[in-house]
Amino acid sequence: MRSPKDFFAPLAVGAPQPPRQIPALPSRMIHFFDPSNEKMATKVPDLAKKVDVLLGNLEDAVKADRKEAARAGLVRIAKENDFGGTQLWTRINSLDSPWVLDDLITLVTEIGDKLDVIMVPKVEGAADIHYVDRLLAQLEARAGLRRPLLVHAILETASGVANVEEIAGASPRMQGISLGPADLAASRRMKTTRVGGGHPGYLVRTDPVGDDLHAGRTTYQQDLWHYTVARMVDACVLNGILPYYGPFGDIRDVVACEDQFRNAFLLGCVGAWSLHPAQIDIAKKVFSPAPDDVAWARKVIAAMGDGTGAVMIDGKMQDDASVKQCRVVAELADALAERDPELAQAYDAATEEALS
Ligand code: GLV
Ligand code: MG
């Protein structure tokens, strides 16, 4: 580990100063697209208007013989488009692959000024982040970049989960971590075959009634990802970075997707991946606080004044801890409202009603 005194020093002469704070920019959905797909490329300008983050995917889901086309496609798309307030991210190939070195060299050199965040898959420990950190600093210095690129790790190996706290704190560039349930299930040798979501076999059952072990016993499906998401959220918060749920592979099942996203939201995640346009609206709905919750949060904040002491609102006791929770909701709402006039209006209308 670097000493605290050196932690924020650039890792190469001429590289930009690493960030001291990670900006909490709206990132409700990280929308994946395949830059090797020509048809997809034509949709990018429209997609950019609908999402918070657009991610050019170079890793899994891009066939080996399309890797170079995907990299070149992303360079072209980034150069040809103005993304406005939408962030542009990429997912590079894994660090043990034959493509990753060229991914980093090409992307930082050609479009380092357009990219915001580099997502690194299959991170196993802090050493992986240190490798990327130094290489990025060297490439940034050579390209003359003035703004440091940020790094996002996918939590998708058993080793990564065991080391998640050190990964989250491995570099000032760390922007966030996403759960990668598909690779994580494979790495853990879990007996599932899905990309995220639950499994009907993972359940608890009420006690038997009398001698019949089958009759009258209700079962409840459990969340396979609860432990990992909760641990990831703690590791991220501890280090001032942002946690995300990853992919939900059953595109047709918009209902379970919404449930999975909402569990992640309630546990502290700020966004999820969208793999299909149908999932963009789900993420938008789930990761934007509801207007009534925002109105309530604003009402509690107003009533609590300097935040100390306690007040009763509608029969519910509010104190320091509840006003802090309300501030989380209200600050997120303000950031989203800046980007989304419809949401801003809904929040203001609900607040007016709550305060009247
Ligand atoms: C994502 O990359 C996953 O493996 O779930
Ligand atoms: Mg994966």
Q: So what's the pLDDT on residue 288?
A: 94
Query: What atom of ligand 1 comes closest to residue 181's alpha carbon?
Result: 5
C-alpha of residue 186 to centroid of ligand 2, in Å:
10
Query: What atom of ligand 1 comes closest to residue 183's alpha carbon?
Result: 4
Q: So what's the pLDDT on residue 234?
A: 98
Q: So what's the pLDDT on residue 57?
A: 98
For the entire predicted model, the pTM comes to 0.93
Q: So what's the pLDDT on residue 120?
A: 98
Q: So what's the pLDDT on residue 196?
A: 85
How would you write the chain as a 3-class SS string? CCCCCCCCCCCCCCCCCCCCCCCCCCCCEEEEECCCCHHHHHHHHHHHHHCCEEEEECCCCCCHHHHHHHHHHHHHHHHHCCCCCCEEEEECCCCCCCCHHHHHHHHHHHHCCCCCEEEECCCCCHHHHHHHHHHHHHHHHHHCCCCCCEEEEEECCHHHHHCHHHHHCCCCCEEEEEECHHHHHHHHCCCCCCCCCCCCCCEEECCCECCECCCCCCEEECCCCHHHHHHHHHHHHHCCCEEECCCCCCCCCHHHHHHHHHHHHHHCCCEEEECCHHHHHHHHHHHCCCHHHHHHHHHHHHHHCCCCCCEEECCEEECHHHHHHHHHHHHHHHHHHHHCHHHHHHHHHHHHHHHC
Q: So what's the pLDDT on residue 313?
A: 86
Query: What atom of ligand 1 comes closest to residue 59's alpha carbon?
Result: 2
Instruction: Give nearest CA residue, ligand 1 atom 3.
Output: 180
Q: What is the mean pLDDT of each run of 10 residues along the chain (356 residues)?
A: 91 97 91 94 92 97 96 97 94 98 98 98 98 98 98 98 98 98 95 86 94 94 95 97 96 96 95 97 95 94 87 88 90 89 93 89
Annotated binding site: 91, 156, 183
C-alpha of residue 326 to centroid of ligand 2, in Å:
34
Q: What is the CATH number of domain 4-286?
A: 3.20.20.60
As annotated, the residues of the chain forming the CATH 3.20.20.60 domain(s) are: 4-286
